[in-house]
Structure 1
Amino acid sequence: MSQNPPRRFGLLTAVCLVTGNIIGGGVFLLPATVAPYGTVSIVALVVLTVGAVALAMLFGRLAARTPVTGGLYVYPREAFGDFAGFVSVWSYWTMTWTSNAALAVASVGYLQVLFPVPGGAGWQAVLALAALWLPALTNFAGLKYVAAAQVVSTVLKFLPLAVVAILGPFFVHAGNFGPFDATGQGVVPSVSAAAAILLYSYLGVESAAVSAGEVRDPGRNVIRAGVLGTVASAVVYVLGTVAVFGLVPHATLAGSAAPFSDALNAMFGGTAGGVVMAAAAVVSIVGALNGWILMSAQMPYAAAVDGLFPRVFTRVRRDVPWAGALIGVVLASVLILFNYLGGTGQVFRVLVLITSFTAAVPYLLSAAAQLHWLARGDREKVRGGRLALDVTVAGVSFAVSVWLIAGAGYAAVYQGTLFLAAGLLVHAWLSARVSSSTASSPAAGRPPVQGRVDARG
Structure 2
Amino acid sequence: MSAELRRSLGLLDAVVIGLGAMVGAGIFVALGPAAGAAGSGVGLLVALGVAAVVAYCNAMASARLAARYPSSGGTYVYGRECLGSFWGYLAGWAFVVGKTASCAAMALTVGAYVWPERAHAVAVAAVVALTAVNYRGVQKSALLVRVIVGLVLAVLAAVVVVTLEAGGAAPLAPGGELTVGGVLQASGLLFFAFAGYARIATLGEEVRDPARTIPRAVPVSLGITLGVYVLVAVGVLGVLGADALADSSAPLTDAVRAAGADGMVPVVAVGAAVAALGSLLSLILGVSRTALAMARDAYLPTALAVVHPRFQVPHRAELAVGAVVAVVAATVDVRGAIGFSSFGVLVYYGIANAAAWTLGPARRPLAAVGLAGCAALAFALPLGSVLAGSGVVAAGVVAWAVSRGRAVPPRP
TM-score (structure 2 length as normaliser)? 0.91
1:7 shift after superposition: 0.8
SS of the residue corresponding to residue 320 of structure 1 reads coil
1:96 shift after superposition: 1.5
1:324 is the counterpart of 2:323: no
Match of 1:394 among 359, 367, 390: 367
- 2:83 corresponds to which residue? 80
1:146 is the counterpart of 2:141: yes
- 1:20 corresponds to which residue? 20
Match of 1:363 among 339, 349, 361: 349
Change (3 A) 1:163 1:368: same
Amino acid at match of 1:147: A
Amino acid at match of 2:283: W
Change (3 A) 1:65 1:173: closer
Structure 1, 193-202 or 54-63: larger mean CA deviation: 54-63
SS of the residue corresponding to residue 300 of structure 2 reads coil
Amino acid at match of 1:21: A
Match of 1:217 among 209, 219, 226: 209
Deviations 1:250-308, CA, capped at 9 Å, x for gaps: 444333222112222334532x2011111111111111111111111101211221233
SS of the residue corresponding to residue 319 of structure 1 reads coil
* Unpaired runs of at least 5, structure 1: 340-346, 376-386, 436-445, 451-457
Structure 1, 392-401 or 423-432: larger mean CA deviation: 423-432
Mapped contact 1:98–1:335 kept (Cα < 8 A):
yes
Mapped contact 1:178–1:250 kept (Cα < 8 A):
no
- Partner Cα separation in structure 2 for residue 194 and residue 412 of structure 1: 13
Change (3 A) 1:155 1:269: closer
Change (3 A) 1:247 1:38: same
Match of 1:66 among 64, 69, 82: 69
SS of the residue corresponding to residue 325 of structure 1 reads helix
Deviations 1:210-237, CA, capped at 9 Å, x for gaps: 1111111111110111000000000000
- 2:131 corresponds to which residue? 136
- Partner Cα separation in structure 1 for residue 4 and residue 108 of structure 2: 39
Amino acid at match of 1:396: V
Amino acid at match of 1:75: Y
1:311 is the counterpart of 2:302: yes
Change (3 A) 1:356 1:226: same
- 2:329 corresponds to which residue? 336
- 2:266 corresponds to which residue? 275
- Aligned ranges for residues 285-300 of structure 1 at < 5 Å? 285-300=276-291
Match of 1:230 among 222, 226, 241: 222
- Partner Cα separation in structure 2 for residue 219 and residue 166 of structure 1: 38
- Partner Cα separation in structure 2 for residue 374 and residue 235 of structure 1: 31
Change (3 A) 1:368 1:176: closer
Amino acid at match of 2:40: G
* Unpaired runs of at least 5, structure 2: none
- Partner Cα separation in structure 2 for residue 82 and residue 5 of structure 1: 23
Mapped contact 1:41–1:194 kept (Cα < 8 A):
yes
- Percentage identity across aligned positions? 30
Amino acid at match of 2:27: V
Change (3 A) 1:106 1:38: farther
- 2:391 corresponds to which residue? 418
1:177 shift after superposition: 7.8
1:175 shift after superposition: 6.1
- Partner Cα separation in structure 2 for residue 6 and residue 338 of structure 1: 36
Deviations 1:142-196, CA, capped at 9 Å, x for gaps: 2222121111111111111122235532220566889743xx5x51010011111
Give the CA RMSD over aligned residues.
Answer: 2.3
Change (3 A) 1:176 1:448: closer
- Partner Cα separation in structure 1 for residue 320 and residue 394 of structure 2: 19
SS of the residue corresponding to residue 171 of structure 1 reads helix
Larger Rg computed on CA atoms: 1
Change (3 A) 1:166 1:234: farther
TM-score (structure 1 length as normaliser)? 0.83
1:97 is the counterpart of 2:100: yes
Mapped contact 1:312–1:323 kept (Cα < 8 A):
yes
Mapped contact 2:5–2:312 kept (Cα < 8 A):
no
